[in-house]
Structure 1
Amino acid sequence: MSLYRPDFEPWKPNELQTRGGRTIQRTDLRLDSPLLELNAWLGLARACAHSARVQAILLALQRDLQQMLKQLIALDDSPNHHSSFLPMERIGWLDEIRETLERERSTYEFPDLPGDTVSGAILDLLSIITQRISSQLHQTEGQIDPTIEGYLERLPRLLFALARYEEAQAAPQR
């Protein structure tokens, strides 16, 4: 039995194929997006999370970021393409989840030193990274979709609330 396939084309690390068949060079700045970094960190936080609820929320956040990346990669290059891949309702969802977590947790003090749990520490780090990314994207006025900008402005507060929730779930006796 041979595993050789004559039609197989090896992966080219400098190119990305879109679903439309268009090839984008990895040197394209759209692919050097801080959203890729953020999505990877969210995956790490999800893998380390103790709570199934936190894991589900982080997975939903990753899917939202995937939609944002699709928009930034611009699968449709037409100049009249202004519709957002991310519905405006997702911003409200971020606020709703954060408020629910805050109501369920009575004290929201910033920890003296992050690191009570691995997942809490990663979420604290993510909150800071997201603030930085939001600030960087805010400086590129007019170049970023307002839905993405609003989403990234609210995301750090949700990540902070998730960190506190995750730490409370890991050590409820505190």
Structure 2
Amino acid sequence: MASTTSGDVLPTGCRIFTSVPDIFFLPEFVFGGLVWILVASTYVVPENPLGWVMFVSVFCFVFTTLWFFIFICGANQSSVWPSLDVGYHFVAAVFYLSASVLLANITVLRGKLSVLSPAELKFYRLDISAVVMSFVATLLYFLHAIFSAIRWKRS
């Protein structure tokens, strides 16, 4: 008698490029990496909030890379992996949301300077780009978490 459940809990190998929640891996790499690069290329003032933004972007980039390789290698076939997938992407979305709000606040405060020198204007534009990329990364991690939760409920 055949089982009604599939043997694979989560996709492995190249099938992750065709499954709905896992297709977000590549855009998460791109936009998370852009946040990391853009924030790293600006003048870091104030240090503490931008330090949190850098931590979040590096942390999520490294762990998403690790997560991606776990999925590619097929080490995600235990029944606990769907819930870990939801948990990680939810935490990443919350982290990125907090970093995005802090980065947007810093950018608004920098833009309120009455006269921006050419160097300050360059950093201001880089910060604006970083804010946009950060909110896009937040959206991607949030969508990944939602679709992973739907997959988790089905398994």
Instruction: State the TM-score, normalized to the length of structure 2.
Output: 0.46
Highest relative contact order (Cα 8 Å, sep 6+), 1 or 2?
Answer: 2
Instruction: State the TM-score, normalized to the length of structure 1.
Output: 0.42
